[in-house]
Structure 1
Amino acid sequence: MSKQTILIKNTLIIAFGRISTQFLTFLLLPLYTAYLATAEFGTVDLIMTYVSLLAPIITISLEAGVFRFLIDARGNAKEQKRVISSVLKFVSLTVLAAVFVYLFIQSFLNIPYSLYMLGVVVAVIISNVFLQITRGFGNNLKFAVGGVASGVTAILANVYFVVVLKSGVQGMLIATILSNIACATYLFISQKLYRYINFRIHDKKLMRQLLSYSIPLIPNNASWWVTNVADRTIISVNLGVSANGIYAAAYRFPWILTGLFSFFDMSWTESASVHINSPDRNVFFSKTMNASVKLFGSLGLVMIAGLPIVFNLFVGTSFREAYMYIPALIVGSFFNSIAGLYVALYIAKKMTKQVMITSVIAAVASIIASLVGVHFIGLFAPAAAMISASLVTIAYRHYNMKKYITIRYEAKTFVVLMLLYAAAISLYYMNTLASNIVNVVIVGAAALALNRSVVAVLWKGVLSKGREFTKLRRRIRI
């Protein structure tokens, strides 16, 4: 089985689980916009983005470290136990310290929904660490099933607390806590993680290596926070919480593209780490990154072309303004995915300090663009910030990585995508029956043409599974 085929297979397995977590939750958007006010929805969105900042800071990004170090420890149970025990012991201490600090601060400040927020942070940390341990083992199927457990729990809990009990913000946060607990419980039992935990293990050298790897990744997560939380904070301060609710609803659509990239990125990071020393790595990495640009560029186009048809099904009347901002956010998410492709290469080389440098550059570019732009272009400013920050990051990482790995892009791909985006966005804003049909036809044909190699691999896999199923049926009849 080729490297590309294994990469696609792992991506599909991971996507199966993560779709349950992210896209089943996305299907709750009509429920949120129907049962929550714009201010309530904006509040939950703001809390969850703060959680995304606090979790990796509290763990010092050791969830990323345990994944990378377990890849090198595959097949060595003793080393796996050493890595897992060291990380869980350290994270347990940092979580306890964070809880005490938070409760101390809360005694002086009246933080809305403080205990719910604390519960979400702790649950997300536990779930993330267990998920990364599972990935480090190379067990992508159980990783995926953990996502299914989380997604199903999230849907049931949201329906119960938001619709039945009408608990609003509290209900959504409780549902988030329960979904993460469900995921962590399944992984702890199915992976028999208790066998790898021994808090008497105390390896200072290993912890120094783990921290040296993980600490530089904190600014990388902080840069994501800057392009999300900072944007939302700037919007809330300058335009109001209701405007942030509109932006949050608009961002739910490009969030699909971000989610799809995250599925691929998990598999891509693993493949890059496994094959970083292969003699054909430059060819493999170049082919993968070119195919990724075509694939995620096409997915963005498909979303822009299809949204006018389904938008009203997902968004309530008070959130209709969100329609205006979605294309710019999708473009920003596409560029952000290209920038993210390089992170896997840095992780494979264990060069996380370079990730830190590029993340800081992106954060500065995003802050400047958002702060300046919000006074002139309103809610378009965060999208402009995302685009500018991503382009700066792509340029820096590409030329910095040249010292170690040669990535060759197909220039014509970028030209074709640029023309297609210009046409698709123009037809999107026309928003007539004829323009929407033309948009879907053009984008659909272009997407298939650009990604014919990926489609061919997927089709070959479907036929292979079909033949296996037919043989199995014949054996059963016999």
Structure 2
Amino acid sequence: MNQYKRLLSNTFIFAVGTFSSKILVILMLRFYTGILTQDEMGVADLIVKTTSILYPVVSLSIGQAVIRYGLERRQSKPEVFTIGLLTLLCGFLISLPFHPALSLIHYKTSFGTSGSLLDYQWLIYLYVLTSCTQNVCSQFIRALGFVRLYAVDGIFRTLMTILLNILYLKVFEWNIFGYVFSIICADALSTICLFLIAGLWKYIKPLQINFHLWRGMLAYSLPLVPDAIFVYIVGFFGQTFLASMQSTAVSGIYSVAYRVPTLIALVASIFVDAWQLSMVNDNSRPEQIRFFSNVGNTYSSIVFIIASGGIMCAKLAMMILAVPSYFIGWMFIPLLAVGAGFNCLSSFQKSVYLLEKRTVPSFLSTAFSAVVNILLNVLLIPRYGGMGAATASMVSYIGLFLYRAIDSRRFMPIHWNVRRLGGTVLLLAVQTALMLTEPPLWIVWQLLLFGFVFLLNCKELLLGVKKLLHRA
């Protein structure tokens, strides 16, 4: 199977699994917002986002090394998996004494009360452990080539999360605890199923540890720890600042609005999952550059068409997905949609670093974006609230893409269609401005601008698909 056919096949499989599971989660927003108050939604989402920052620290991002080294034919699969689990276990045990640091994350509610995440320490630690373990196992089955199992597991985990959410929130009325504990239980059940179905216990060989391989995997994964932290800072620190500077109610509205642009990130997650399995090949450098450029330009067309649709449907999305008390959050969506589009492209650029095992430059690029994000959040949130956080997120993602597009050329010069990209970004800027100012006949303007974005990108999209299908 050549690289194009492999990419198409894997993308289709991941699309079925990832899209169906993510859509189910997004459709559950109305259920969540109908049961949880804005303050409860803000605190629950703060716990989830904090855990997302903690688990690369605890696991040392070893899951990324598991799939990168597991894909190499010369590497022993049991050695890779055993090292992944041992690294995770050591990291978790070392992290246990540092739980008082959770008291540093404060929040205040719309009623004037305040608290910290130290109140939820055991819940957070359990969440970290189950998430890390599930991640290592799921990355390893991808390295083994069980892509269908990986896709089905995504659907299974989502369905279990939804069913347990209904049980814990509607029946038991556990609120914040129920929202988080349902994710923990779903991750644990997923891990158990992966062990049973894929027979992962056969790959655990604690008495046959390859310390040379362990050093290599750690050298690859350790720079990804701060890289992952900064990724979450860029994506979610605005919500943390809102919870401390404004209130958990504002933070809750912002977190719900943030879910809509995740449809754009959904395209990225589907594609990147498949892309990771296809980018490691034995092609010559010119062939790799051509492959990356063809796929990258087609991918950018898809991303920006969806981003334009997200801007146009901001109000409709909030009306459908959330109860009326959250509707004001639609104003954040246009800026977040543009930022999500650039985040998708920066994720594609990051694959150059991962292919070349250059994780330090990847970290430096994300650190640059995180610093920009933090500075803008501090400057903008006190004055503009949620709009300030959305602006900070958008600008930092644009900066991240530009940084990587320039820096990664020393490893692999991807040939972007600059004229098309520039024209598309200009149209998205006009579309965002008109959406936020709502001039007369704004709906007509949105439809026209979406049509222009589609027409500008459809030629690139059709050419790219034709190349992929022809070479597949």
Please tell me the residue identity of whatever aligns with 2:79: R
Match runs of 1:267-416 below 5 Å: 267-274=274-281, 277=284, 279-416=286-423
Aligned to 2:61: 61
- Structure 2 counterpart of 1:252: 259
Is 2:174 the counterpart of 1:177? no
CA contact (8 A) 2:301 2:460 kept: no
Q: Which amino acid aligns with 1:150?
A: R
Distance 1:164 1:89, change over 3 A: same
CA displacement 1:118-147 (0-9 Å, x = unmatched): 221111111111111012122211110110
1:328-360 per-residue CA deviation (whole Å, 9 max, x = no partner) reads 011111111111111111000011111111121
Q: Distance in 1 between matches of 2:301 and 2:466?
A: 18
Query: Which stretch shifts more, 417-426 or 36-45?
Result: 417-426
CA-CA distance at 1:452 after TM superposition: 5.3
C-alpha change, 1:308 and 1:369, in structure 2 (3 Å) is same
Q: Deviations over 1:209-232 (max 9, x none)?
A: 010000000111111121234222
Give CA-to-partner distance per residue, 1:251-305, whole Å, 9 cap, x none: 1111221222122112222222235645411111111111121110111111222
Change (3 A) 1:103 1:182: farther
* Residues 136-180 of structure 1: per-residue CA shift (max 9 Å, x gap): 122211110110110110111111111222211111111101211
Q: Can you list the C-alpha shifts for 1:65-106, whole angstroms capped at 9, x where unaligned? A: 0100011137x6xx1111111221222222233345549989
For the residues of structure 1 that align with 2:362 and 2:229, how far apart are their CA atoms? 11
Please list every run of 5 or more consecutive structure 1 residues that lacks an aligned counterpart in the other structure.
Answer: 463-478
Distance 1:47 1:219 in 2: 19
**Cα offset for 1:12?**
2.2
Which range is displaced more, 425-434 or 279-288?
Answer: 425-434
Q: Which residue of 1 aligns with 2:90?
A: 93
Number of residue pairs aligned between Structure 1 and Structure 2:
457
**Alpha-carbon distance in structure 1 between the residues aligned to 2:458 and 2:4:** 14
* CA shift digits 1:428-472 (9 cap, x unpaired): 34669964366346525743762456568879999xxxxxxxxxx
Counterpart position of 1:25: 25
Contact 1:20 1:151 in 2 (8 A): no
Is contact 1:358-1:397 (8 Å) kept?
yes
Select which of 204, 207, 211 maps to 2:218: 211
2:280 alignment partner, SS class: helix
SS at match of 1:17: helix
Alignment match, 1:16: 16
Aligned partners of 1:104 and 1:445: how far apart in 2? Answer: 50
Q: 1:38 to 1:437 in 2, by over 3 A?
A: same
2:110 counterpart residue number: none
AA matched with 1:30: R
The equivalent residue for 2:77 is: 80
Work out whether residues 298 and 464 of structure 2, in 8 Å CA contact, stay in contact via their aligned partners in 1: no
Counterpart-to-counterpart distance in 1, 2:64 and 2:284:
20
Question: Any conservation in 1 of the 2:70–2:80 contact (CA below 8 Å)?
Answer: yes
Identity of aligned residues (%): 23
* Preserved CA contact (<8 Å) 1:162 1:168: yes
2:186 is aligned with 1:189: no
The aligned residue for residue 147 of structure 1 is 154
Contact 1:273 1:345 in 2 (8 A): no
Q: CA deviation at 1:34?
A: 0.7
Structural RMSD (CA)? 2.7
Cα separation, partners in 2 of 1:394 and 1:438, compared to 1, 3 Å: closer
* AA in 1 matched with 2:210: D
User: After the TM superposition, which of the residue ranges 264-273 and 328-337 deviates more from structure 2?
Assistant: 264-273
Q: Is the CA contact 1:220–1:355 (under 8 Å) kept in the aligned structure 2? A: yes
- Stretches of structure 2 that go unaligned for 5 or more consecutive residues are 104-115
Change (3 A) 1:112 1:190: same
CA distance in 2, matches of 1:132, 1:425: 37
- Matching residue within 402, 419, 425 for 2:432: 425
**Residue of structure 2 equivalent to 1:4:** 4
What secondary structure, in the 3-state scheme, does the structure 2 residue paired with 1:336 have? Answer: helix
1:162 aligns with 2:166: no
Indicate if the aligned counterparts of 2:238 and 2:393 stay in contact, CA closer than 8 A.
no
Kept in 2: contact 1:273–1:349 (CA 8 A) = no
Aligned partners of 1:342, 1:39: CA distance in 2, in Å? 37
Counterpart residue number, 1:473:
none
How far, CA to CA, are the matches of 1:431 and 1:455 in structure 2? 33
Contact kept, 8 Å, 1:49 with 1:229, in 2: the verdict is: yes
**Deviation for aligned residue 1:382:** 1.9
**How many Å separate the matches in 1 of 2:102 and 2:369?**
31
Could you say what secondary structure the match of 1:198 adopts?
Answer: coil
**Inter-partner Cα distance in structure 2 for 1:381 and 1:212:** 37
Q: Quick check: 1:286–1:407 contact (8 Å CA) kept in 2? A: yes
Equivalent-residue separation in structure 1 for 2:235 and 2:394 (angstroms)? 13
Structure 2 match to 1:49: 49
